[in-house]
Amino acid sequence: MREDHHDKPHAPDHPMTEFEWRVEAVQALLIEKGILAADEVRRQVEEMDDRSPALGAKVIARAWVDPAFTARLLADARSAILELGIDFRQEAALVAMENTAQVHHVVVCTLCSCYPRGLLGYPPDWYKSLNYRSRVVVDPRGVLKEFGTELPTTVEVRVLDSTADMRYLVIPARPAGTEG
C-alpha cells in the first residue's frame, strides 16, 4: 500500500474497512499501470453524485400532464427521456411501467441492487437490504404497507424482479386533486 493514499482528499471519517482498502489498492494499481487516470475516476464519481431522484421526478411530472409523452415513455423510455434533455447514459435498457387503478408495480433486484442509477441516483440503502429484497417478492402488499401504501385486493400487484439487462421505472398514478 502506498503511503500517499492515507490522506486522500475524500477519506471517510471512520477507519477504513477491508473493502475500502481493497478498492484503494485496486484503484492505485489501475492508475499505476496506466489503465485508468485518477481524473477519470473522479469524473465518474462526480457524475454519479450528480444524479438524483429529481431527474426521475421531472420525467414523471411530464408524464402526468402529457398523455402523448407517457405513450412514448412506455414505448421507448430512453428516447422519450432524451426529449427532456436528460441523457442518463445507462448501459442497461430502461423500461417504464405505468401504475393504474387496476395495476400497481413494485421493483426489486433480488440478486443484487440493479437500479436505474442514471435517472434516480444511488439506490437507497433499504433497496439493497436483504430484508427488502427477500420479503418484497413473497409479501409485496405487506412491504408496501410498511411504506404507507395499502392496496385494495381488487388491484393487481406486479413485482418486477430486475435480474438482467432491464432497469425499471414505475410511472406512479397521478394523485387526485393535483390538476391545475
Report the C-alpha gap between 164 and 60 in whole angstroms: 24
Nearest approach in angstroms of CB 141 to other proteins is: 5
Residue identified by cell 482498502 is 21
Contact at 8 Å (CB) between 120 and 53?
yes
Range in contact with other proteins (rule: CB under 8 A) among 24-32, 69-77, 122-130, 137-145: 137-145
99 interacts with other proteins by CB under 8 A: no
76 binds other proteins (CB under 8 A): no
Sign of CA dihedral 65, 48, 123, 7: negative
* Binding of residue 94 to other proteins (CB under 8 A): no
| Catalytic residue flag (residue 129) | no
Q: What is the helix (H) or strand (E) element at residue 179, kind and residue range?
A: none
Of the candidate spans 1-9, 12-20, 66-74, 150-158, the one that interacts with other proteins by CB under 8 A turns out to be: 150-158
**DSSP string covering 47-59, please?**
HHHH--HHHHHHH
Q: Look up 79 and say whether it is catalytic.
A: no
Catalytic residue positions? 109, 112-114
Q: Under the rule (CB under 8 A), what is the footprint of other proteins?
A: 93, 95, 110-111, 137-142, 153-166
